[in-house]
Amino acid sequence: MDARIDALVDQLVARGDLADDSWRAVLHAVPRHLFAPPVAWAAPLGGPRHKIDVREDPAGWWQAVYDPGAAILTRFGDDEPRAPVSSLSAPNIVLPFLELLHPIGGQRTLDVGTGTGWTAALLSERVGAHNVVSVEIDEQAARQAAANLEALGVRPTLITGDAVTCLPEQEMFDLVHVTCGVTELPYAWVRQTRPGGALVFPWMPDFSYGYRVRLDVLPDGVATGRLAGAAGFMMLRSQQGHRTTPMGEWVAAVKDAAASTTRLDPRLLWHTPGGGLEAAMSALVPGVRADLVYDPEPTGEATLWLLEATGPGGSWASVDYVPGEDEFAVEQAGDRRLWDEAEAAYFQWIRWGRPDLERFGLTVTPDGQQVWLDDPGNPIAH
């Protein structure tokens, strides 16, 4: 077992997902396999989901559990049986967040999204279990997490409920660790973080995959910090929105689309690397989901879809890319002209000098959330 854990850490270090080797001892103290169910679905990085069963294929189970890029899906939705609602997150996602949080002994820590209990146990090893409060909204997942933690002999405070509303108002934290994606960071978590404290969370605006973010809390209750890298998680239940709603439902709900053309290759909004464009689009074209769909035939043709995150009945746009054409067909419907907004945002990002991801940041106040470029004093207006 020591060899498995050391191999996992060595791979994380080699991939650039872990720099602080002190987490090696934490991972030895909190073995990941103790939080993996005997039967589950593995979702490896870049590979298809597949069932794992420790009784039928023990070698495959162990390989998946200690694969640095594999999430272990443990719970699925009742309405959407293929949609996971809880998991044992992949080590190459978990460790960069914990390293960004940089917990030290004795810090009072809120863990939002207990899941299987693994992150609550890792934090307990780092700061002391009596300093960890972990909240899980899913009752079945919460019961299993409690059993997993009890079996390990680790006893943080566990709460079943909505972490946005169920925390005692007088409770104050040094650190907040969030394991579910948020489009808008609930200010309740900032309000209950003491000045000098920090929050790390996956910011998942509708336009893009998601980013690691660390915000530090100032004496006036403002939290601010930079984007730190790509990351994706299951969404906070209250912010799931319409991310999985089929595109056809938008198109069917809004008639009389306006037709036009563009000379901008729509694929650039999807395939430009580095994350900086996605961050800019998330700020300048807020509340919009993007999808690029290639023709199933190998023609090179593709359609970029832009869908207002309010759901069917909201605005939508489509842009058809055809190889060799000088102009591309655009359709837009609804109150917003989403392609016009997106095209303007793309060229604004170009005028800024194509800033990369790390030049963008977030500030959260009681009045809302603002994206900024280079400095919190330079907010991006939309």
Q: What residues are labeled active site?
A: 89
The closest of 86, 382, 17, 15 to 205, measured between CA atoms, is 382
Do residues 146 and 167 make contact, with C-beta atoms less than 8 angstroms apart? no
The per-residue DSSP string of 149-180 comes to HHHHT---EEEES-TTT-S-TT--EEEEEE-S
CA distances 58 to 41, 69, 240, Å, are: 14, 19, 35
Burial class (CB in 10 A: 0-12, 13-18, 19+), 19: exposed
Q: Dihedral of the CA atoms 339, 343, 344, 350 (nearest 10)?
A: 160
Please, which residues have CB within 8 angstroms of residue 156's CB and are 6 or more apart in sequence? 111, 120, 121, 123, 124, 129, 130, 132, 133, 134, 149
Which helix (H) or strand (E) segment is 287 a member of?
none
CA distances 140 to 56, 95, 200, Å, are: 25, 25, 25
Q: Is the dihedral of CA 346, 350, 353, 356 positive or negative?
A: positive
* Ordered alpha helix ranges (H), 254-334: 268-271, 276-284
**Reduced to 3 DSSP states, what percent helix, strand and coil does the chain have, rounded to the nearest 5?**
30, 30, 40
Q: Are strands 360-365 and 368-373 parallel, antiparallel or unpaired?
A: antiparallel
Please, which residues have CB within 8 angstroms of residue 311's CB and are 6 or more apart in sequence? 241, 242, 245, 250
